[in-house]
Amino acid sequence: MTARSPLTAAFRGLYSLRALATKPVYWFYERRLRRKVRVGGKLPQHLGLILDGNRRFARAAGVQREIGYEFGIDKAHEVLQWCLELDIPAVTIWVLSTDNVARDPEEVAHLMKLFDREARNLATDPRIHGNRVRVRAIGQHDSFPAHVLNALKELEEATASYDGMLLNIAVGYGGREEIVDAVKVYLEQQAQAGATLEQAAQALRPDDISARTYTAGTPEVDFIIRTSGEIRMSGFMLWQSVYSEFYFCDVYWPGFRWVDFLRALRDFQGRRRRFGK
């Protein structure tokens, strides 16, 4: 595992002290809200999380962007624990888009190191194995370094037989690219079966695309949370989110709290889903 810098550790300590100071204010409210969520109705069967605001969190705190990413990783582990506690069956977290890959090369290289480190950490995480969490990396990974590809492959193989929560890590992911890839697979399979292009086009149905998306076999995402205050989807799960409920939270991802998560879930439970009817 790659060691975190002393500056990161020091900032984490100061941030933890601040969180500890405000904890009594929220403790009673969180406890009541958690009880309401547990008895308040159906929870999402497939939760989507757009982890936005790591760099802005760092900038607002006056620290390096790398520290923002470290805090974002810590938060992802924390939210995974929350989802396990609430028995949410499937979770997809978006950690890197296809557009993000075009960022500053030094930043992308740093992110690749983090993906390598965290994939290897998850592969040995007792929570993953104890809860039989199946982990999949979804997206386009052709441009990833070999060590990152190996780490992601080893993580998937280590959890492939598990039947607990399904955790999709969307890395190098874009919703448009996913749909294009699904259509390509469909057309290739039709050609292999001897169909002409005209026949393949006439036979194409929405279910044919659904069966070839990166998340094929998983219930369509029913609730999507985006942090950082941005009110847009940016291409996240375009095909699977046709009937999704959305929740936009003003807090940056590293500052996302248990109480924020519970509020989002209570909001979801209070909605009436009509599915176009």
121 annotated active-site: no
Local structure of 153: helix, strand or coil: helix
Q: Which of 74, 100, 121, 150 is catalytic?
A: 100
Give the pair of three-digit tokens for residue 247: 């929740």
From CA 104, how far away is CA 95, in angstroms rounded? 16
Give the pair of three-digit tokens for residue 34: 């958690």
- CB-based burial label for 3 (10 Å; 0-12, 13-18, 19+): exposed
52 annotated active-site: yes
CA 165: distance to chain centroid? Answer: 13
Element spanning 247, H or E: strand 245-248
Alpha-helical runs (H) found in the chain: 6-39, 54-61, 65-85, 105-123, 126-130, 146-159, 175-192, 197-203, 206-210, 258-269
Q: Under a CB-based contact definition with an 8 Å cutoff, are residues 222 and 231 in contact? A: no
Choose among 51, 38, 29, 12: nearest CA to 258.
29
Annotated catalytic residues are 52, 100
